[in-house]
Structure 1
Amino acid sequence: MPNKDNATRRLRVTYVKSTIGYDKSQKRTVLALGLRRLGQTVEHADTPVIRGMVGKVPHLVRVEEIGA
């Protein structure tokens, strides 16, 4: 059952560095986050799955916590 605090929390993920020269799994992780172009920003629910994906590519994305 989801924690009520995390239910309204969201993460804003911005693609800031190219995946050229990085492992294929990191490229796929960036794509799975919904990021296609440099500078693109997407919002996701703050879940352990998304946190894990962001944790795999912290050098390629910038993350901001939004929500209450």
Structure 2
Amino acid sequence: MIKVKQIKSKIACKPDQVKTLEALGLRRINHVKEHDDNPVIRGMIYKVRHLVEVVE
């Protein structure tokens, strides 16, 4: 399991990045969600890596 924390705002982001954050379950700054560690989640995290922080 990995924890994903949103550390920056999604206001000035591209629409696909906003949808990726929503798919990860992140709605606001400092919001943390726990996910299984698999390639799909890792790809989503990679796409918004400048907005999130990962704790393994």
Shorter chain as normaliser: what TM range?
A: over 0.9
Report the equivalent of 2:43.
52
Of all paired residues, the percent bearing the same amino acid is 50
How many correspondences in the alignment?
56
CA RMSD, 1 decimal: 0.6
What's the CA shift for 1:16? 0.5
AA at the equivalent of 2:30: G
Separation in structure 1 between the aligned mates of residue 40 and residue 26 of structure 2, nearest angstrom: 16
AA at the equivalent of 2:23: A
The match for 2:9 among 10, 18, 37 is 18
Separation in structure 2 between the aligned mates of residue 30 and residue 22 of structure 1, nearest angstrom: 10
SS of equivalent residue, structure 1 residue 22 = coil
5+ residue gaps, structure 2, are: none
What's the CA shift for 1:43? 0.3
Residue 30 of structure 2 is aligned to residue 39 of structure 1:
yes
Larger radius of gyration: 1
TM-score by length of 2: 0.96
SS of equivalent residue, structure 1 residue 62 = strand
TM-score by length of 1: 0.80
Separation in structure 2 between the aligned mates of residue 35 and residue 57 of structure 1, nearest angstrom: 11
| Aligned structure 1 segments of 4 or more residues deviating by more than 2 angstroms | none
